[in-house]
Structure 1
């Protein structure tokens, strides 16, 4: 596939087709409506743009294929929604990589690009409870579910921050509840997990509040005991009584030699825990968790609004992709979606007498061309592996040339995609017919001429195809669809809209590039006035670089020569056979390898 790196839109189209989703390339933003993915206008090349675009495409394709949007919409609480989204992303990416192994490369490249920052424990804490919770849960899923070890250090840091902010018990519950969620069969199966995690957070909050109250009562009791002791020390009467009692108790006894009392004092002095006894603030700093701080953090988390969770990582990808494409410094080109033409209410296309005569003339000449290209020759030699039974009698005469050798000259193996311009400017007259009618006649003549001929596959498309406020490309005849089943679709070709030639050429070119035939030819029938001339030049350049040969038929205009080196101009459909045959014969017979 030499040259594929030089056409990011074509690669994107191939990825979309492989994963079974619909793609458009237009504007400056990446987005999806749940059915169609749109990428911004793209340059021909660029490693950063490609990594972002293909990773985003694969991620959103996974959503379209595997996410139950009804389940996603069933949750209203902002935290529940964010948790479900964080759990759903690795689930769908894991499944896409199982169904389409090539997606692993695209998704991991994207992750290496956007998940490569390492934040310290302090930085995670400074983000606040809501962002810390989401960042750690995301890191945990990326590392544990998808095995992306380049995120491990940030995960360890966010884990330490999580434990410090929400408590070790909450961390253990989080890891236990979310383990194995990427293996769940559907989005609906994640809903109970989300509910269970929410309940665990609420339980942790209540427990933290309870322990905070107990801690406060304990602190107050300790403070009261300390106050009583201080008051006792300040009372002279009690001091004298204690002194006298001590004298009486010590009467007749000698103080310890070496001093057990001294040992006891020394022991306390050397034990940090003992030295800190009676100071609850010291316990809070190193030994005991701050239950009130944990309760406050959980309260802030459970009451957080959507804005407090920070940007979704895919939103960051979309923003970066839009910026990268605009700043690429290269010409950018888009791509339309190709949809089957709606033939409701239309009759079969009826070729005019002139068109029928053109079809017969063209078909006869193409058939002769193909027959001259596909020939089988038999030779009989004295050595070989296949005996010719009809020549064995020659052995009696001493002739041993009875081994049959067959050589076949490779015939025409070509896919042709015909693209018909049906923009508003094609309503102008070309003689007694409007331009679009001449173009339709030409398209039908070519399709009928090659129908059933071995070695040639043909598709016909028309543009623009307006659906609501969107311009797409209409599939009139598919490569593998017989012409008789497409005749109504030819009748749908009617002038409409503008001339998004570049976007339509890229859509048709992407489908043509994926064909198995050795040769690939795109034939355009147009009046040659595209909406964006720079984009049209870029589309021609990219398709030619991919080995697609381009021919333009100008309908009563020679403006096609500005964009296509191979072009011809026809004024009447009767001119088509002679002009087109010359082009086809040259393309089909040249550069054979």
Structure 2
């Protein structure tokens, strides 16, 4: 083991102990596991050149914030008996709250915590979700990235947070996203663990409300005697007829009503007698009013709607409502899938990943001692010469320092009635008429 290696290796306990005293929690360095028992924090000993040393300080600050600001009994009560989604929401909200709380008296912890995010981002552990990911994963990833970027001011997560919001709006209904962001505005005002538990439960209740509100219109539409379904089946036929130049209103009842289609036998009987349909099916030359595009010449018989005006709304209705219906149904289904998510569908605790990284990089049970005198491995004669030079320089510096201290003690300025300068310490004596200033 080289001298530099031993020096850095043995300095880590000093830094960790200093941080522990600063945060008011006991800290131990050593072993091969990063953990906390609710009273103290243990950080594994890392190699001196390890890139995880800043991550270890961030982990230490995070766990110290838990020990100082988290009410573990309230947290356990809020998490026990809850579903995986609520537990994940509570963990994210409480992490944000305590990290903001510890950054107020100790601003330097922001840099350590941002180092954790930077390292995880470089490894891809804090990347934005994919559109085809589980909706619960999309939601919790958005919360994690958005809140850390906005409230903890982690600049490295700006792009990921923006992309996560785009995916969230792509997966969930716009109304749900709008209401969710309204609740997230309260995260900065969380003052206790109980507030975090309450907000996590309110976010889940919001998703429950969105699920019920999305289910209510669909059930009401399906109870209207099936009429919207039959209209939906007729509209593609009408649009197809309009594309070939036929008037879609001739198959309707007199007066242009589209609410009640004729029975199949009556349509079969009426179809051949329809002059417009007959002309179109027989290939009438372009010259008839229906063959030239409908009511542009105003030649529509009375009692029928204008083909140009009646077919355009019918042909546009499927293009706007029917293609969007599956997309809206998928967004509504995403809310239900989020509520029914399991632990495997969620990204997991961020600092659990940090623990795993520190555990893997730890040096096991290797002893980690405080600095102590070490045997000299070089040439003894050369070492003695260097020792003599050092001692001589030390004596010279000691003598100069002692002279400066003695001179400062013997330098006692006295006040006189004349001179170019005033003694600030004696200005108060001007009030009693003492001219020696």
TM-score range, shorter chain: 0.5 to 0.7
Partner of 1:54: 57
- Contact in 2 for aligned 1:42/1:332 (Cα 8 Å): no
Measured at CA, do residues 143 and 268 of structure 1 come closer, stay the same or move farther in structure 2, by a change above 3 Å? farther
Matched, 1:63 2:66: yes
Q: Which residue of 2 aligns with 1:201?
A: 207
What is the CA–CA distance in structure 2 between the aligned matches of 1:23 and 1:70, rounded to whole Å?
22
Could you say what secondary structure the match of 2:27 adopts? strand
Q: Distance in 2 between matches of 1:138 and 1:245?
A: 61
Question: How far, CA to CA, are the matches of 2:161 and 2:69 in structure 1?
Answer: 27
User: For the residues of structure 2 that align with 1:378 and 1:190, how far apart are their CA atoms?
Assistant: 61
Structure 1 residues 188-587: aligned runs within 5 Å:
188-214=194-220, 220-223=229-232, 225=234, 235-243=267-275, 255=289, 261=295, 275=315, 277-278=317-318, 283=321, 285=323, 287-288=324-325, 290-326=327-363, 333-334=367-368, 385-387=412-414
Q: What is the Cα deviation at residue 179 of structure 1?
A: 1.0
Query: For residues 438-479 of structure 1, what are the alpha-carbon distances to aligned partners after superposition, in whole Å with 9 as ceiling and x for unaligned?
Result: xxxxxxxxxxxxxxxxxxxxxxxxxxxxxxxxxxxxxxxxxx
Residues 29 and 368 of structure 2 are in contact (CA less than 8 Å); yes or no, is this contact kept in structure 1?
A: yes
Distance 1:374 1:120 in 2: 60
Q: Which runs of no fewer than 5 residues in structure 2 stay unpaired?
A: 238-259, 280-287, 298-305, 371-400, 417-437
- In structure 2, what is the Cα distance between the partners aligned to 1:183 and 1:154? 24
Q: Find the residue that maps to 2:413 and give its secondary structure.
A: coil
Quickly say closer, same or farther: Cα 1:215–1:46, change in 2 above 3 A: farther
**Superposed CA offset, 1:342-367 (max 9, x none):** xxxxxxxxxxxxxxxxxxxxxxxxxx
Distance 1:74 1:231, change over 3 A: same
Measure, in 2, the Cα distance between the counterparts of 1:80 and 1:267: 53
Partner of 1:158: 164
For residue 24 of structure 1, the aligned residue among 2, 9, 28 is 28
1:215 is displaced (CA, Å) by: 6.0
In structure 2, the partner of 1:34 is 38
Q: Shift in Å at residue 34 of structure 1?
A: 1.2
Offset of residue 218 of structure 1:
7.3
TM-score by length of 2: 0.64
Quote the offset at 1:173 in angstroms.
1.3
2:185 to 179, 185, 192: 179
Q: Given the superposition, is the C-alpha separation of residues 48 and 376 from structure 1 closer, same or farther in structure 2, using an over 3 Å criterion?
A: closer
Aligned pair in 2 of structure 1 residues 8, 304: CA closer, same or farther (>3 Å)?
same
CA distance in 2 between counterparts of 1:79 and 1:136 reads 14
> Deviation digits for residues 324-348 of structure 1, max 9, x if unmatched?
2349xxx954369xxxxxxxxxxxx
1:166/1:298 contact within 8 Å kept: yes
Task: Give the corresponding residue for 2:87.
Answer: 81
Larger proportion of strand: 1
Q: CA RMSD in A?
A: 4.3
Q: CA deviation at 1:308?
A: 2.7
User: Shift of residue 174 of structure 1?
Assistant: 1.1
1:258 Cα deviation after fit: 8.1
Q: How far is the alpha carbon of 1:59 from its aligned partner? A: 0.6
The structure, 1 or 2, with the larger RCO (C-alpha pairs under 8 Å, 6+ apart) is 2
Q: What secondary structure is seen at the aligned counterpart in 2 of 1:24?
A: strand
Q: Deviations over 1:115-156 (max 9, x none)?
A: 3549887x5233312222211111121122112232122222
SS in 2 for 1:124: coil
DSSP-derived class of the 1:74 partner: helix
Q: State the match for 1:491 in structure 2.
A: none
Matched length: 334
Alpha carbons 2:31, 2:363 under 8 Å: kept: no
Contact 2:25 2:40 in 1 (8 A): yes
Q: Is the 8 A contact 1:112 1:150 kept in 2?
A: yes
